[in-house]
Amino acid sequence: MAFTDRSLPAREAILSAARSRFATDGYDRATVRAIAADAHVDPSMVMRYFGNKRQLFALTADFDLRLPDLTAVPCDEAGHALATHLISRWEDDEGLQILLRTATTDDDAADRMRAIFAGQLAPQIATITGDATTAATRAGLVATQALGLVLCRYVLRLPPVVEMSRAEIVRWIAPALQRFLAGSP
């Protein structure tokens, strides 16, 4: 399982090509052959370096939200801080697209989405909302708005959502997140 340094550029080219293919085509339609062609590499090399297609996908599909410390900002600004962070985090990283595009049909990928939600988003939200009983619900509501934005803007590409500027999106979405985080129904 240890490879020489000379194969490292090839392995990285494969990983990069895989990320792009999985992000745009999803797991099923992103073929090993296409990934190899993008990386200017023989298809058999993909299997040799990464074992099989599933393991290659797993390496490209570990996404880290890298949430900022929301407890560091005033409670009534948490929604704005979260909105600005998410929009910049997603604009230049295709990691969430990779997961979202295949999580709708693949249960492994859906499990990863649930894990990201439970492991990264929910705990952070639980700490800033003192109430432990509503924290899980609030985190779920935040997910509906946040993932809905990713879905419409980057995956489905609904024209009006694509055409909005980052600043416009933050202006509209931040208050929605704020209400889910600390407001009342």
Partner DNA sequence: GTCTATAATTCGATAGAC
Partner DNA sequence: GTCTATCGAATTATAGAC
Binding site residues, DNA, CB under 7 A: 3-4, 6-7, 10, 30-34, 41-45, 47-48, 52-54
Query: ∠ CA(125), CA(87), CA(132), 5° rounding?
Result: 5
CA neighbor of 22 nearest in space, from 66, 47, 53 = 53
How far apart are CB 103 and DNA at their closest, in Å? Answer: 18
Which residues does 167 contact at the CB level (< 8 Å), separation at least 6?
A: none
Q: Mask: binding to its own copies, 26-65, rule CB under 8 A, as x and -?
A: x-xx------------------------------------
Query: Of 81, 83, 120, 73, which Cα lies nearest the Cα of 99?
Result: 120
CB of 84 to its own copies, least distance (A): 14
Stretch that binds its own copies, among 11-19, 32-40, 82-90, 103-111 (CB under 8 A): 103-111
Q: State which of positions 144-183 bind its own copies (CB under 8 A).
A: 144-149, 151-153, 155-161, 164, 168, 171-173, 175-176, 179-180
Residue 52's binding partner among its own copies, DNA, none (Cβ under 5 to 8 angstroms by kind) is DNA
Q: How far is residue 25's CA from residue 98's CA, in Å, rounded to a whole number?
A: 9
Q: Are 145 and 173 in contact (CB under 8 A)?
A: yes
Going by the DSSP 8-state scheme, the letter that residue 3 receives in this structure is -
118 binds, among its own copies, DNA, none (CB under 5 to 8 A by kind): its own copies
Q: Which is nearer to DNA, 10 or 164 (CB)?
A: 10
Which range binds its own copies by CB under 8 A, 34-42, 46-54, 87-95, 101-109?
Answer: 101-109
55-82 in b/e form (b: 16+ CB < 10 A) is: ebbeebbebebebbebeeeeeeebbbbb
Q: How many helices (H) and strands (E) does the chain have?
A: 11, 0
Question: What is the binding site for its own copies (CB under 8 A)?
Answer: 25-26, 28-29, 100-105, 110, 113-114, 117-118, 122, 136-137, 139-141, 143-149, 151-153, 155-161, 164, 168, 171-173, 175-176, 179-180, 185
